[in-house]
């Protein structure tokens, strides 16, 4: 996706206009591939306090809809949240911008692009995002739904990546 198309999808004229939760949510949930450099451009223009608030609100809403029996999925989502967390009072330096952009890119891949969940009722592999919304819709309608998040947990940030930085610390 090119820059102009991304800005249009985020309902922005320029990255400097980023300020609303809806902008962040649209960035996270966009189905098309977004280059990490474009994500970086948006994050670089963001106010750290607003960005921190948006990250926390997004993940809190996500986690509130995770079924109680999916504790491992909850912890996987918590790991993504922690990887993106920033201090709301600090300015975003180049290292922080790079880290957050990279984490958003990785999360989007896990959450939207790849199909890590399985709808047990239809036998279809779906994205974690789509599974999340199917669960929410079923809950509203009072229906039962069965989603297998096993691959989502196995492909989360704690499942496949050991950072050298973390080992040294």
Q: Cα–Cα distance between 108 and 118 in angstroms, integer?
A: 18
Helix 36-45, helix 21-29: angle, nearest 10: 170
Handedness of CA 158, 162, 167, 169 (dihedral sign): negative
CA angle in degrees (0–180, nearest 5) for 25-159-150: 75
Q: Write down the domain spans for the chain.
A: 3-168
Rounded average pLDDT over 109-135: 95
Q: pLDDT (tens digit, 9 = 90+) per residue, 35-55?
A: 999 999 999 998 889 999 999
| Mean pLDDT for all residues in the chain | 88
* pLDDT score of 88: 62
Q: Cα–Cα distance between 93 and 97 in angstroms, integer?
A: 6
Q: Cα–Cα distance between 82 and 59 in angstroms, integer?
A: 10
Q: pLDDT (tens digit, 9 = 90+) per residue, 121-132?
A: 999 999 999 999
* pLDDT score of 32: 94
Structure tokens at 50: 């607003």
Structure tokens at 155: 């492909």
For residue 158, pLDDT over 80 is answered with no
Q: pLDDT (tens digit, 9 = 90+) per residue, 60-104?
A: 999 998 988 999 999 999 999 999 987 666 678 898 899 999 999
User: Band of the pLDDT at 143, cuts 50, 70, 90?
Assistant: very high
The order of strands in the sheet holding 117-119 is 124-126, 117-119, 147-148
CA-closest candidate to residue 62, choices 46, 84, 47, 41: 84
For residue 163, pLDDT over 90 is answered with no
User: Band of the pLDDT at 155, cuts 50, 70, 90?
Assistant: confident
């Amino acid at each position: 996706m090119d820059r102009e198309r991304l800005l249009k999808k985020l309902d922005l004229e320029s990255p400097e206009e980023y300020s609303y939760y809806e902008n962040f949510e649209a960035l996270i949930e966009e189905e098309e591939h977004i280059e990490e450099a474009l994500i970086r451009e948006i994050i670089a223009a963001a106010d750290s306090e607003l960005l921190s608030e948006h990250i926390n609100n997004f993940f809190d809403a996500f986690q509130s809809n995770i079924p109680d029996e999916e504790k491992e999925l909850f912890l996987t989502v918590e790991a993504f949240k922690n990887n993106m967390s920033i201090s709301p009072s600090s300015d975003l330096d180049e290292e922080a911008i790079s880290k957050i952009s990279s984490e958003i890119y990785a999360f989007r891949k896990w959450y939207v692009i790849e199909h890590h969940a399985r709808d047990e009722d239809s036998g279809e592999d779906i994205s974690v995002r789509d599974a999340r919304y199917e669960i929410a819709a079923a809950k509203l309608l009072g229906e039962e739904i069965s989603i297998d998040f096993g691959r989502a947990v196995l492909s989360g940030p704690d499942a496949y990546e050991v950072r050298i930085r973390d080992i040294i610390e």
